[in-house]
Amino acid sequence: MHSKLLHLSAGLVLSAAFCTPALADQSKPKGYSTDQPKIILTTGEDLDEWTFIINADEEEMGNVWVDLNNNGTCDEDEPVTDFGGQVDFTCVDKKITIYGNITGLNCAQNDLTSIDISGAPQLLKLLAGRNQLKKIDLSHNANLQELYLYKNQITTLDPTPCQFLLELDVDENKLNEINLSNCPNLTKFSCTRNAIKTLDLSSQRNLRILYCGGNNLTSLDLSKCEELREATCANNLLENISIAANKKLKEFYCAANKFTTLDVSQNTKIELLDCRDNQLTSLDVSNLYELHTLACGYNRLNTLTFPIEKDGKHAGLINLYAQSNALSHLALERTPDMKVLYVMENNFSELELELIPQLTLFSCSSNPIKELSTGANSMLKTLGAANAQLKSLDLSSNRALMVLQCYGNEINGEAMTAMIASLPARSAMEPGEAFVVNTPKGDKNVIRQADVEAAKKIHWQIFNFLDGVNEGRNPYEGVEVGIQTPEVVNPSLSLMSSGRALYIKMEGKATQDQLYVIDAAGRTVLTQKLDKGSNVVALPNLASGVYVARIGQWNRKFSIQ
């Protein structure tokens, strides 16, 4: 899901060349006096230093100072001499006053509990994010153009006096509502992660960027916001939305709502669409030739329609994230530029990867795929094909491969040896990672110790996924199977074969409660979960010969006549 990054540095340099609205006549203060505009700041913590960035017009810079000890006199260390860059003042009191006709103040991350800007009507830009503010009075600040109050504890905010406001950021506060009716010039508004239930944007005809994700919105009308370029309404309670009027929209994030349909047919400029975690059963992006990234995972999609080539123009889709849906087919011939394809947990039985030769990141894990050809994908770096139905995998054309997930298949014996032999040689500085088995799930993959040693020689690490423990990076040494398998005795386990049955007794806690029966060629021919105590395992379909019963690290040979 899309999250807007809030960097403190984004607003650190405050321009001294603001387009200043008309101000009432003010007599210029002379020298470092208290008879001039002021801002009062109070912190709730014992700070070592106050940290600010202050801006003022050049002719006013000689008047700006900070009363650190509240004595009403500008002492030697209190004049501000550095404008537009960070300045630090030793904290001697929890309350200070900044005097001077300043145009911009960044006071973020000072643990402020209050800020009084009523005495600074000339202020154009205020950055007060990451503090502990519960309220702020804007009634005397009609000239504010940019206001950043993100990550505070504000419960109410009235920006209506600020008719010249261009940018407003109130992310991560405790707002239930906000009135923007007198802020028609807003070009950027962000209220992510509050508790807002309704949002009236009918006056925001100049709005270009909107972030209102993580609220309690049940409806959102964007019809008057025709200048929108980027909009985020993810993690709300929306059941539908119309973006037909937003024809200039380039990025739209609407994940984690309750949409059953989404019409993007009028939004031909969209380059990035994130509609994950909704209830969509179909999605048509056939008009979106400029779309390069589509995230539509965790829906109920059974149909996904791409643009067809016309007038020499084809779909520009590069990244597709469509995991956890009900898809069984993709028209990949329409997306020849695709580099990232994630379709885990769908219903694919085959994928024509030769149609997307630029593929670099790919995962089709947890699909009923029996055969997978990556011969045309020479740029492939990451391949996920776990929990499928593969019995072999040829990687000889994938010389850029660095990560392989193929546990949960049926690759063993000569097929496993061939797969390991087809891996590209890596280096000691940049080894490859192969997640080959996942023993807790009764994996039918079997990799021999000799195969593991062969992988190590070309700098590949072999891992046991272990259901994600240690992010799956659990070194695995393989097993030695077949007639030459050494027997490993476990006193808590006993086994007897008779006819076409195994009698297994588990006393105490066994290393693992999964039985693997492996033939002389190294193939797993039977798996079965074992109960504590006595178990009878029928072997009706096994041919005569020598087999190995494996439970954890315990191996025991037996034969069928």
Of the listed ranges 88-97, 134-143, 176-185, the least confidently predicted one is: 88-97
Contact yes or no for 301/280 (Cβ under 8 A): yes
Q: Are strands 102-106 and 125-127 parallel, antiparallel or unpaired?
A: parallel
- 511, part of any domain: yes
Task: Report which DSSP code applies to 161.
Answer: T
Question: Mind listing the pLDDT tens digit for each residue in 213-237?
Answer: 999 999 999 999 999 999 999 999 9
Per the CB < 8 A criterion, the answer to whether 267 and 250 are in contact is no
- In a shared domain, residues 455 and 534: no
Of all helices (H) and strands (E), which one includes residue 52? strand 49-56
End-to-end Cα spacing for the chain = 59
Residues 401, 452 share a domain: yes
Name the residue with higher pLDDT: 353 or 528.
Answer: 353
Say if 72 falls within a structural domain: no
Query: 538 and 499: one domain?
Result: yes
Cite the beta strand spans of 107-234 per DSSP E: 112-116, 125-127, 146-148, 167-169, 188-190, 209-211, 230-232
Split at pLDDT 50, 70, 90, the class of 47 is: confident
Percentage of the chain beyond pLDDT 90 is: 75
**Does residue 474 share a domain with residue 497?**
no
Per-residue CA distances from 557 to 123, 479, 509, 527 (Å): 84, 14, 22, 16
The neighbour count for residue 430, using CB atoms within 10 Å, is: 8
Looking at the structure of the chain, the number of domains it has is 2
Q: Residue 379 corresponds to which tokens in the numbers above?
A: 């740029």
Q: Is the residue at 337 inside a domain?
A: no
Instruction: Find the mean pLDDT for residues 239-259.
Output: 98
Distance from CA of residue 314 to its chain's centroid? Answer: 28
- Per-residue model confidence (pLDDT) at position 275: 99
CA-nearest of 513, 501, 514, 493 to 558 is: 501
The residue written with tokens 């008057």 in the block is 224
Q: What is the 3-state secondary structure (H, E, C) of 358-411?
A: CCCEEECCCCCCCCCCCCCCCCCCEEECCCCCCCCCCCCCCCCCCEEECCCCCC
Q: Give 388's strand partners.
A: none
The reported pLDDT for the residue numbered 548 is 79
> Above 60 in pLDDT, residue 457?
yes
CB 102 within 8 A of CB 81: no
* Domain assignment of residue 143, yes or no: no
Whether residues 412 and 444 share a domain: the answer is yes
Residue 472 phi/psi, 5-degree rounding, is 85, -5
In-domain check, residue 280? no
pLDDT of the residue at 487 = 46
- Are residue 474 and residue 501 in the same domain, yes or no? no
Do residues 473 and 384 share a domain? yes
Whole-angstrom CA distances from 259 to 144, 236, 237, 299 are 37, 11, 9, 10
The pLDDT value recorded for residue 144 is: 98
DSSP assignment of 423-436, as one string? SPP--SSS-EEEEE
pLDDT of residue 541: 76
Token couple for 42: 């109070």
Q: Which pLDDT band, with edges at 50, 70 and 90, does 556 fall under?
A: confident
Structural domain including 430 reads 379-478
CB 270 within 8 A of CB 251: yes
What is the pLDDT, as a whole number, of residue 527?
81
> Residue 115 corresponds to which tokens in the numbers above?
């800020």
Same-domain status, 465 and 501: no
Domain boundary among 431, 455, 478: 478
Task: For residues 468 and 500, state if they share a domain.
Answer: no
351: in domain: no
Choose one of 455, 478, 501: the last residue of a domain.
478
pLDDT at 525: 79
Q: Which has the higher per-residue pLDDT, 6 or 319?
A: 319
Query: How does pLDDT run across 360-379, given as a tens digit for each residue?
Result: 999 999 999 999 999 999 99
In percent, the amount of the chain with pLDDT more than 70 equals 88
CATH number at residue 520: 2.60.40.10
pLDDT tens column, 258-316 = 999 999 999 999 999 999 999 999 999 999 999 999 999 999 999 999 999 888 889 99
- Find the angle CA(257)-CA(186)-CA(149) to the nearest 5 degrees: 75
For the chain, give the number of residues: 561
451 and 388, same domain (yes or no): yes
Residue 55 has pLDDT above 90, yes or no: yes
The predicted model scores a pTM of 0.81
Please indicate, yes or no, if residue 165 is contained in any of the structural domains: no
What's the average model confidence in pLDDT over 335-356? Answer: 98
List the beta bridge partners of residue 549: 517, 556
For residue 379, with 0-12 CB atoms within 10 Å meaning exposed, 13-18 middle and 19 or more buried, which class applies? middle
Query: 372 and 352 in contact (C-beta within 8 Å)?
Result: no
Phi, psi dihedrals of residue 497, rounded to the nearest 5°: -105, 140
Phi (first) and psi of residue 14, to 5 degrees: -95, 120
Predicted local distance difference test score (pLDDT) of residue 502 = 73
Q: Which of 478, 506, 532 is the last residue of a domain?
A: 478
Region 392-403: mean pLDDT is 98
Residue 436 has pLDDT above 60, yes or no: yes
d(CA 333, CA 335): 6
pLDDT of residue 17: 38
Q: How far is CA 326 from CA 14, 128, 342, 356, in A?
A: 50, 47, 13, 21
What average pLDDT score do residues 50-68 get?
95
Q: What are residue 271's phi and psi, to 5 degrees?
A: -110, -25
pLDDT digits (tens, 9 = 90+) for 508-523: 554 446 777 877 666 7
Tell me what the mean pLDDT of segment 180-195 comes to.
98
For residue 408, being part of any structural domain is answered with yes
pLDDT of residue 535: 76
Predicted pLDDT at 514: 77
Question: Using one digit for the tens of pLDDT, what is the confidence trace for 470-490?
Answer: 999 999 988 765 444 444 445
Q: Lowest mean pLDDT: which of 326-330, 460-464, 505-509? A: 505-509
